[in-house]
Structure 1
């Protein structure tokens, strides 16, 4: 029977612990599970709640910090110093696993020793809404070459994993390390990509592997705050992967770097353009986003997103929200004309 170490970091989330711990210990028949709750010096009663849970179940251990170490240091403490099962899961105290999630992931990892981590679909939920039903009868799995999956992430320019839905091979975790302290907001995507450079990736099809809680503060957060910081952290994560990826040739690193830098430049320009569409140019750092795009991709002025932004600038931030439908139609028509022209020059038809 495979063993799974579940690390549950907690800071002021003691009121969620029973549900989180319970999801790791209940409905996971077929794997040997043990849980570590790490309370990061919570100022409330979270540590007491954790100790009470551990007292009632011998599979649960508790570690309480005397001073707050921060989330990444807490994650790494559990993942690298405590976890000793075949596989490891990092589960936030406010999230949950679905019934059978660990069993399904362990079966994939048992069957494919070349797979470094396995993940599936996460269900997002809010505390003020009923918990959505989870799909627990899967349709098998897919195993992707790690470098193929890595390139997909570089082409997308963003992550596809929230975290609780991932089960990692513990040996790989220890070999490659944990979260990079230089990336407080993008350490997860960097770590998954780092793993994919060394091992294949497994995906569980047709099932929901975890519940990811969306807090009301996150729901109400405006979409224009911190946009530049988010992009900078994302670029730093990809650059860190390229810096460490000794398994890639210099040519592969150069190619992937060009792909993601161009993609992130386009995303920065798109966010700047959307500020005009929404009348938010006073809140969104438009000029800084354009400068960041130039930093990412020297030929940013040739990108279609820059053309769209230039048109919006000529129209102005006051009129743009009202003229947005017409502008988007014109931009789409211009893009079709450029595509036709390039096709005609290449094929003559």
Structure 2
């Protein structure tokens, strides 16, 4: 987006929209949203009853399942909920608990696998069975907040161009923290602008429990990809933004994401480890590739966006290398990350970050907590991470 366009958006209303339709927000939030292409508007009450299908994939999460389902049927006004539990041949009491919930609640359906099929096949089978206007994929160890389904349905019903809506998720371990449920407004992001922001940042700003999609949008391009088991959510959100607008619920919490020792990300994808970060980088780049060779290839700026994503992901791989040098990490797989950066962008060595990494390589690693020459870049890296998370929480991007 040009600087002239950003200036114009910051100090003018979008065509056809009155200032009275925009809820009051902080000046920084309002200007930042407009500068990035978003449109803030008031929330509208839900008219009538809307059917929301919730797919609950479950593998050995029987101890969490009842609490998950209870959150879906409690305090969700205006929603006719359909809950589809897909048990992937659990070895604990998951299927027994699911059957008991089915006997207690008419809205609960159970699909039981005779053999373990893995999470992608489990997701897709449940999504294929959904009959609602809108659909949510909610892991059995997560929960939704009071009114979450209603708030998402309100936005989707009022904004037909929106294919996906999300808010914030609360991360917790044992006790549920208090959630924010008083809605203050919506941001509507044009799909191409939202996609452009993802290409520029490279990061996934949406997990999964806080997302509700329009079922017809999902049906238009299919389910999760088996070849992207780690970044399936990210690729799904990119794909959606290539064909529809994106909605964000301001200042509310839509879901609880539970952290525990058997989280799939920890067990299957080494989340939080160096290897996990490498897998994440690789599959985020692959996600951009498949989107722009698929549903996004017809976008007027597809080539430009793919090139932007290429530069972003290559730079991120080198940033990990640079930060590891700054912290004196001798066991970091420097060559592996550098090779990934060059695979993504063969010209990466000539980039500013590539040249910075080359300087660090020449100086080597000192046995210090942080290299004195590189303290400021390391601090800047951390600050950028903080600001990125702040922006995500406030305006969704």
- The answer to whether the Cα contact below 8 Å between 1:11 and 1:39 also exists between their aligned partners in 2 is yes
1:138 is displaced (CA, Å) by: 1.1
C-alpha distance in structure 2 between counterparts of 1:205 and 1:233, whole Å: 29
C-alpha distance in structure 1 between counterparts of 2:290 and 2:224, whole Å: 12
C-alpha distance in structure 2 between counterparts of 1:19 and 1:37, whole Å: 13
Return the match for 2:374 from 305, 323, 327: 327
RMSD: 2.1
Structure 1 match to 2:170: 123
Structure 1 match to 2:318: 269
C-alpha distance in structure 1 between counterparts of 2:188 and 2:379, whole Å: 37
Return the match for 1:97 from 144, 147, 150: 144
1:181 is displaced (CA, Å) by: 1.0
Structure 1 match to 2:80: 32
C-alpha distance in structure 2 between counterparts of 1:193 and 1:222, whole Å: 23
Return the match for 1:111 from 154, 158, 162: 158
C-alpha distance in structure 1 between counterparts of 2:294 and 2:177, whole Å: 40
C-alpha distance in structure 1 between counterparts of 2:273 and 2:108, whole Å: 39
C-alpha distance in structure 1 between counterparts of 2:251 and 2:288, whole Å: 29
Structure 2 match to 1:341: none
Return the match for 1:255 from 304, 309, 316: 304
2:186 is the counterpart of 1:141: yes
Structure 2 match to 1:297: 345
C-alpha distance in structure 2 between counterparts of 1:29 and 1:329, whole Å: 51
Return the match for 1:2 from 47, 50, 54: 50
1:182-238: CA deviation from partner (whole Å, max 9, x where unpaired): 101111111111111111111111100001112246499653223322211111111
Structure 2 match to 1:168: 213
Return the match for 1:76 from 117, 120, 124: 124
SS across alignment from 2:212 = strand
Structure 2 match to 1:340: none
- The answer to whether the Cα contact below 8 Å between 1:149 and 1:196 also exists between their aligned partners in 2 is yes
Structure 2 match to 1:285: 333
Once the two structures are overlaid, the 10-residue window that deviates more, 286-295 or 210-219, is 210-219
What are the equivalent positions in structure 2 for 1:4-19 lying under 5 Å apart?
4-19=52-67
1:163 and 1:332, CA in 2 relative to 1: closer, same or farther beyond 3 A?
closer
C-alpha distance in structure 1 between counterparts of 2:373 and 2:303, whole Å: 39
What are the equivalent positions in structure 2 for 1:36-55 lying under 5 Å apart?
36-55=84-103
Structure 2 match to 1:177: 222
Structure 2 match to 1:198: 243
- Give structure 1 stretches of 5+ with no counterpart: 334-349
1:332 is displaced (CA, Å) by: 9.3
Return the match for 2:111 from 43, 63, 75: 63
C-alpha distance in structure 2 between counterparts of 1:323 and 1:123, whole Å: 33
1:323 is displaced (CA, Å) by: 4.5
C-alpha distance in structure 1 between counterparts of 2:154 and 2:107, whole Å: 21
SS across alignment from 2:243 = coil
Which structure has the larger Rg over C-alpha atoms? Answer: 1
C-alpha distance in structure 1 between counterparts of 2:205 and 2:285, whole Å: 15
1:323 and 1:32, CA in 2 relative to 1: closer, same or farther beyond 3 A?
closer
C-alpha distance in structure 1 between counterparts of 2:111 and 2:57, whole Å: 10
Give TM-score scaled by structure 1 length. Answer: 0.88
1:38 is displaced (CA, Å) by: 0.6
1:329 and 1:246, CA in 2 relative to 1: closer, same or farther beyond 3 A?
closer
C-alpha distance in structure 1 between counterparts of 2:69 and 2:164, whole Å: 21
Give TM-score scaled by structure 2 length. Answer: 0.78
SS across alignment from 1:160 = coil
SS across alignment from 2:293 = helix
- The answer to whether the Cα contact below 8 Å between 1:228 and 1:285 also exists between their aligned partners in 2 is no
Once the two structures are overlaid, the 10-residue window that deviates more, 109-118 or 88-97, is 109-118
SS across alignment from 2:337 = helix
1:253 is displaced (CA, Å) by: 1.8
- The answer to whether the Cα contact below 8 Å between 1:4 and 1:34 also exists between their aligned partners in 2 is yes
Once the two structures are overlaid, the 10-residue window that deviates more, 49-58 or 67-76, is 49-58
1:274 is displaced (CA, Å) by: 2.2
1:299 and 1:49, CA in 2 relative to 1: closer, same or farther beyond 3 A?
same
C-alpha distance in structure 1 between counterparts of 2:370 and 2:139, whole Å: 44
